[in-house]
Structure formats: C-alpha cells, structure tokens
Amino acid sequence: METARYSLEGRIALITGASSGLGAHFARLFAAAGAAVVVGARRVERVAALADEINAGGGKALAVALDVTDEASIIAAFDAAEAALGVPDVVVANAGIVEAGRSVDLPAEAMRRVVDTNFNGVYLTAREGARRMIAAGSRQSEKGRIILTGSITAQMTATGDAAYAATKLAVQHLGRQFAREWARLGINVNVIQPGYIRTEIDGEWFDTEGGKAQIASWPRKRLTEVSALDDMMLFFASDASRQVTGTFISVDDGQSL
C-alpha cells in the first residue's frame, strides 16, 4: 500500500501505557504520521517528557495521568484529551503488566493485578473511547479505531506465564466482541499480538541463560524488532483499514511457530 494511505493527519490518538516500551514507540509513530497524540500512564513524569519530545520535534502531544485500573482516572484522561485536542478517534489500549511465576506459587494478589491491568484496564479504556466516539458521530464518519495490544502468548503455553497469557487470550476475544457490538457504530476494533520484544517489562530476562535459551529455540533465533509493528499499527489506525474489524494478527518473526 502507498504510504499516504497510512496518513493520520487530522486524527487524535490516545495511547495507554505510553511511559515506555511499545506505548512510547506507538506515540512517536503516530505523531510522525500526523496524529495529535495523548500519552497516558501512571508515571506522569515520563509521559510528560515524551510529550515534550514530540512537541519539540514539530508534532502535537498531550501528557495525561492515567491508571487503567481506575475508571475515574480513565474518564479524567479522556476529559483532558477532549478539552485540549478534541475527541480521540483512535484509542490504543496498550497498558499491561507481567507477574511471572508458576501457577502453584503465584500469589492471588499478583493474579488480581494482572487481570485488573491487562483485561479490566483494556475493557474500561476501550469502552470509554467507544462512548466518546459514538457521541461524536462515529456512526456517520466511520472513523473510530480501537487497537488492543495482545501477545503471541495467547496462542502459546509456557511455565510461569499462565496469568499473563490467559489475560492476553481474553483480550483477543474481547476485541472480537467489541467489534461485533460496535460494527454499525462506525468503530473498528482490532488486536495486534506482538512477539517477544526487548522492552522495560522483560528486557533483563533475555540477558539471562534462560532468556538466551528461549531465543535460541525460535526458528530465526532473534527478538522481534519493535519497528516490525509499525505498518500494522498505522494500517489499523488509518482510513486504510475501513473494512477491517474484529481481527487479530501476530507480528512475531515466527517465534510462535
């Protein structure tokens, strides 16, 4: 496809979990494609620095405090975005956490944290975004785009990964449920499932012997580059994906094979 079809000029994108990793990368990517971006996270100083960087580079960005486990915080973030830039017509529900451990050992509170952030947080973020889009006329414009960040672990099994992987499979199906509900309301919902990428969440693991062995077990014996997600993210956010909703796609360089 032509690069112009991925243009996000005139769009407003709100991204959760934007203080580091994938969220920060998506914010820079969307800003470069012409979108005004709202970057949200609990670590406000980090998203503030990211917004300053984007604004200094000629883009348009707003930093907001956003805790996806707190519905009031989500609503406040959308209120701030709407007041400053307008109603977001692209929402990336990206915030997530990992609590590694064998299922027989993982504390109940750790499991609750994973579910509250990785599933409930995605649910509440997407729902609030959809409510705003519908009120702003998404049925007529067909501009609504919601992207959920899943994981290839939704289709895999591994010791010590049950809590995280289960929530990511739930997110995959949630995306299809939302897509069905909002199909006639001009909102497309899709899920991108990245492979293993070196980020703040699990970067140190890949420097351990266990992490190196995991990399060696993959067909191409390498981590996925974060830039590998760019084309698909821009596609899902742009007008090019007008007739694509309810889908999920893995971008993992063959790691899940």
pTM of the shown model:
0.95
Whether residue 207 lies inside any domain: the answer is yes
Residue 164 annotated as catalytic: yes
CA separation for the pair 232, 235 (Å, rounded)? 5
Whether residue 191 lies inside any domain: the answer is yes
Whether residue 256 lies inside any domain: the answer is no
Cβ atoms of 91 and 13 closer than 8 Å: yes
Give first-to-last CA distance, the chain, whole Å.
27
- Residue 91 makes CB contacts below 8 A (sequence gap 6+) with 13, 14, 15, 125, 126, 129, 145, 146, 147
Predicted confidence at residue 1, as pLDDT, reads 44
Whether residue 3 lies inside any domain: the answer is no
- Residue 222 makes CB contacts below 8 A (sequence gap 6+) with 215, 253
Whether residue 1 lies inside any domain: the answer is no
Whether residue 4 lies inside any domain: the answer is no
3-state secondary structure of 42: coil
Q: What is the pLDDT of residues 22-38, one digit of tens each?
A: 999 999 999 999 999 99
Q: What is the pLDDT of residues 118-169, one digit of tens each?
A: 999 999 999 999 999 999 999 999 999 999 999 999 999 888 889 999 999 9
Whether residue 239 lies inside any domain: the answer is yes
| Structure tokens, 114 | 């994973």
Q: What is the CATH number of the domain that holds 180?
A: 3.40.50.720
pLDDT above 80 (res 4): no
- Find the mean pLDDT for residues 89-94: 98
Q: What pLDDT band is residue 203 in, cutting at 50, 70 and 90? A: low
- Choose among 42, 18, 34: nearest CA to 234: 34
- Average pLDDT over the chain reads 95
Catalytic residue, chosen from 6, 123, 164, 196, is: 164
- Residue 32 makes CB contacts below 8 A (sequence gap 6+) with 59
Cβ atoms of 173 and 230 closer than 8 Å: no
Whether residue 200 lies inside any domain: the answer is yes
- Choose among 181, 83, 168, 173: nearest CA to 127: 181
Please tell me the chain's helix, strand, coil percentages from 3-state DSSP, rounded to the nearest 5.
50, 15, 35
Angle at 216 between CA 162 and CA 199, to 5 degrees: 60
Q: What is the pLDDT of residues 67-80, one digit of tens each?
A: 999 999 999 999 99
- Find the mean pLDDT for residues 213-225: 94
Q: What pLDDT band is residue 5 in, cutting at 50, 70 and 90? A: confident
Q: Count of domains in the chain?
A: 1
Q: Which domain holds residue 102?
A: 9-251
CA separation for the pair 72, 241 (Å, rounded)? 31
Other residues' Cβ atoms within 10 Å of the Cβ of residue 153:
22
Distance of CA 33 to the CA centre of its chain: 17
- Residue 73 makes CB contacts below 8 A (sequence gap 6+) with 65, 66, 67
Residue found by looking up tokens 């309810």 in the block: 246
CA separation for the pair 171, 165 (Å, rounded)? 10
